[in-house]
Amino acid sequence: MKKTGKKFTAIIVSLAVVAGSTIGAFAAEKAGVTNEYLSYAEEKEKTSVETTADETATENDTAASEEDISNDEVVYVFTDSNGSVEKVMDSIWIKDGEDKTQTEADADLPLAVSVKYSLDGRDVAPENLSGKSGHLAATVSFTNNRYEYKEINGNKEKIYVPFLASAVTALDGEKFSNVTVSNGRVINDGARYAVVGIALPGLKEDLDISAGEVEIPESITIEADVTDFDEFGMYLLVTNSVFNDIDIDTTEKMDELREDLGKIDDAMEALMNGSDELYDGLSKLLDGANKFGDGMNQLSNGLNTLDSNSQALVDGSKQVFNTLLATASEQLKASGINVGNLTIENYGTVLTSVVSEGYAKKLAYSTVEAKVKENEGVIRDKVTEAVNAQVESGVEEAVKAGVVEKVTAAVRAQVEPEVVKAVKAGVKEKVVAGVAAKMGITTEQVLASPEASAMVDQTVEAQMASDEVKAMIAAQTDAQMASDTIKATIDTNVAEQMASSEVQALIESTKASKLSSDEVKGIIDAKTQETVNAKISEYENSPEVQAQISAGDKKILDLKASLDSYNTYYQGVIAYTGGVSKANAGAKELNKNMPELVKGIQALKDGEKKLSDGLTQFNDEGVVKLNDLVNTTLEGMVERFNTVKEVSKDYASYGADGETVNDGVKFIYKIKTVR
């Protein structure tokens, strides 16, 4: 077929975009069910000991439970560091409970993989890399082993199953640096480099593209500077499913293109018919150019005069601006806001920060604080007076409480024996009556009998020592103490004690001791500071101070707005004078080149006939051939792409014994880590 060169570029670019998005989707998809199979496959790779019957049954149950999760077939290929196959496993075998693998001799993989390593430009075996430093390159090459013979444009051609191969690895940021990949992307999160590269083995042959026309990557090279080599490994993700969905049905577009080419034919005819009108117009243009030259000479002289005064205008505007800024700086300083000298470059930032950082608020608050602290002495005197009054009152109450306690105790000491005496008499009376009744004699006879009388006394003492009688004594004593008579007695005695010189002297000495103590002084200091802070907060939050702050911020913003307004004028002057300078230079250049312009128009007029001839030639050799290209090359390209898609769909399974897997087959190559 005819070579089309860069006409394939748009198609290949779209394939690369699809490839990039497919890698991301493939990786995300594998993070689900397939990763569980991969974990299983990796575990199988690590051990050469066969699992027991129970373990096999458990794994089979797990695979069966996952059967409904995905219809993807995923083939796991384990290779050595150079890409030579060591073991192959298929997710279909895992799901079906088959505990089998393939070796390189049994495997029939569609892609053969080769990994080569070099250090500082020299080939090196992977086992010799440990501890080395230098510029490392790892190149992954592919050989496509799957193809069909198809008829394209009347010829039998070998069409390879198109595969998208992606190399994925992560490199330690402490060991690796300056990481690049030939076809893909490198992302550095600060600790590691995530590397993804892509290749499309066999696609160049499928599309019949010669070298130099379009670059289709068929290998992947990862390069990096390495220090004290530790380890390097990668995964390869391979799939042909991305090509199954390519839809290049351009029948409708081809019809539209033919219609557009018809419009080009009509336009060419109109263009050639307009050739005579162009010649007349060029004649008039030549006359006008001569007149334009005279006007340009006058314009150039005027712009030159205007440009000569531009610098003076800029300097004067700048001087006025600097005067305004100096005045603003002094006004701010006078109001207590010292931000240094305002300049044309910094005034906007400085004034904005004055408002955002609350200079007006700070100024108002510092004024309030100073005024409150001027009256701190008065506040302290009032606080001291109040604290002293509380201390004195507390001392008097404490002394009185002590007197009350002592007087009450003394009165109770007098009341309680009387209560005991009365209770004892009552107890004895009951005991005598009880003994008399028991012995069948009178109470007088009981008291007259020494033996009976001794028994009574013994019983009475026992009764008096009982908890019940003690409680009775306490209750009756409390009742006596609560009587108005006793209370009056206590109050009288307390009043007498409080009025005594001894107690009064105690009160005065205690007051003096308390008032001079560090504790009271600390209370006075704390209360004074608390009152000062409360006053400051009260004044700061008052409507008057808040209004003052708002007014201060507004003045700053008004000042900035005023300076912004003049800055707009000043920048306009600079832009205007710059424009005048450019216009002057342009006018001079244009005036200088006017003779050439007139000469060029003359040449353009003389060349009008050649243009007409050229248009005719373009129509014959360009438009007509473009129609041929549409009707042959592009339509042939559509047939080739559809054939590639058909071959891709034909390859739908690796380990399903010829059966089609709904969602296609994908391969994951695990390249053994180099250590």
Across-strand partners of 373? none
Give the amino acid at 660: T
pLDDT at residue number 52: 35
pLDDT at residue number 162: 92
Mean predicted lDDT score pLDDT of the chain? 77
CB contact at 8 A, 459 and 430: no
Give percent of the chain above pLDDT 70: 68
Predicted model pTM: 0.44
Higher confidence at residue 526 or residue 4? Answer: 526
Contacts for 371 with CB less than 8 Å, ≥ 6 apart: 539
8-state DSSP, 102: B
Rounded-to-integer distance, Cα 413 and Cα 418, Å: 9
Is the pLDDT confidence value at 203 over 80? yes
Host H or E run for residue 270: helix 251-273
Is the pLDDT confidence value at 101 over 80? yes
pLDDT at residue number 152: 86
User: Mean pLDDT lowest for which of 366-380, 444-458, 461-475, 640-654?
Assistant: 366-380
Rounded-to-integer distance, Cα 629 and Cα 66, Å: 53
Higher confidence at residue 194 or residue 59? Answer: 194
Rounded-to-integer distance, Cα 38 and Cα 75, Å: 9
Q: Which of 232, 196, 154 is nearest to 22 (CA)?
A: 196
Burial class of residue 112 in the structure, from the number of CB atoms within 10 Å of its CB (0-12 exposed, 13-18 middle, 19+ buried): middle
CB contact at 8 A, 456 and 432: yes
Host H or E run for residue 85: strand 85-90
Is the pLDDT confidence value at 19 over 50? no
Mean pLDDT of 335-339: 74
pLDDT at residue number 221: 97
Question: For 390-408, how does the pLDDT look when each residue is reduced to its tens digit (9 = 90+)?
Answer: 887 888 888 888 888 998 9
Higher confidence at residue 534 or residue 182? Answer: 182
Give percent of the chain above pLDDT 90: 24
Is the pLDDT confidence value at 603 over 90? no
Question: For 282-330, how does the pLDDT look when each residue is reduced to its tens digit (9 = 90+)?
Answer: 566 666 666 666 666 666 666 667 677 778 877 887 888 888 888 878 8
Is the pLDDT confidence value at 608 over 70? no
Q: 230 pLDDT band (50/70/90 cuts)? A: very high
Host H or E run for residue 166: strand 164-172
Give the amino acid at 18: V
CB contact at 8 A, 173 and 190: yes
CA distance to 337, 342, 362, 481, per residue, from 354 (Å) = 8, 12, 10, 76
Q: Could you give phi then psi for residue 78, rounded to 5 degrees? A: -105, 125
User: Mean pLDDT lowest for which of 85-89, 147-151, 600-604?
Assistant: 600-604
Is the pLDDT confidence value at 104 over 60? yes
pLDDT at residue number 22: 44
Mean pLDDT of 518-540: 78
Is the pLDDT confidence value at 210 over 70? no
Is the pLDDT confidence value at 641 over 70? yes
Higher confidence at residue 467 or residue 291? Answer: 467
Is the pLDDT confidence value at 251 over 60? no
Rounded-to-integer distance, Cα 113 and Cα 106, Å: 16
374: Cα within 13 Å, side-chain hemisphere: 6
User: Mean pLDDT lowest for which of 46-55, 147-156, 486-495, 510-519?
Assistant: 46-55
Question: For 147-174, how does the pLDDT look when each residue is reduced to its tens digit (9 = 90+)?
Answer: 999 998 788 999 999 999 999 999 999 9
Is the pLDDT confidence value at 623 over 90? no
Mean pLDDT of 503-517: 82
Give the amino acid at 352: T
8-state DSSP, 549: H
Question: For 37-73, how does the pLDDT look when each residue is reduced to its tens digit (9 = 90+)?
Answer: 555 555 655 544 343 334 433 344 444 344 443 467 8
**CA 530, 531, 533, 534 torsion-angle sign:** positive
Q: 194 pLDDT band (50/70/90 cuts)? A: very high
Is the pLDDT confidence value at 114 over 90? yes
pLDDT at residue number 625: 53
Q: 581 pLDDT band (50/70/90 cuts)? A: confident
Higher confidence at residue 575 or residue 493? Answer: 493
pLDDT at residue number 292: 65
Mean pLDDT of 263-267: 58
In Å, how far from its chain's centre is CA 585? 52
SS3 content of the chain, % helix, strand, coil (to 5): 65, 15, 20
Is the pLDDT confidence value at 342 over 90? no
CA distance to 134, 175, 222, 223, 394, per residue, from 126 (Å) = 14, 17, 15, 15, 92
Is the pLDDT confidence value at 119 over 50? yes
pLDDT at residue number 10: 41
Q: 593 pLDDT band (50/70/90 cuts)? A: low
User: Mean pLDDT lowest for which of 193-202, 328-337, 482-491?
Assistant: 328-337
CB contact at 8 A, 229 and 634: no
Is the pLDDT confidence value at 268 over 60? no
Query: Helix H segments across 309-346?
Result: 310-334
pLDDT at residue number 112: 96
Is the pLDDT confidence value at 250 over 60? no
DSSP letters for 514-544: HHTSHHHHHHHHHHHHHHHHHHHHHHHTSHH
pLDDT at residue number 144: 96
Residue with tokens 């991969």: 38
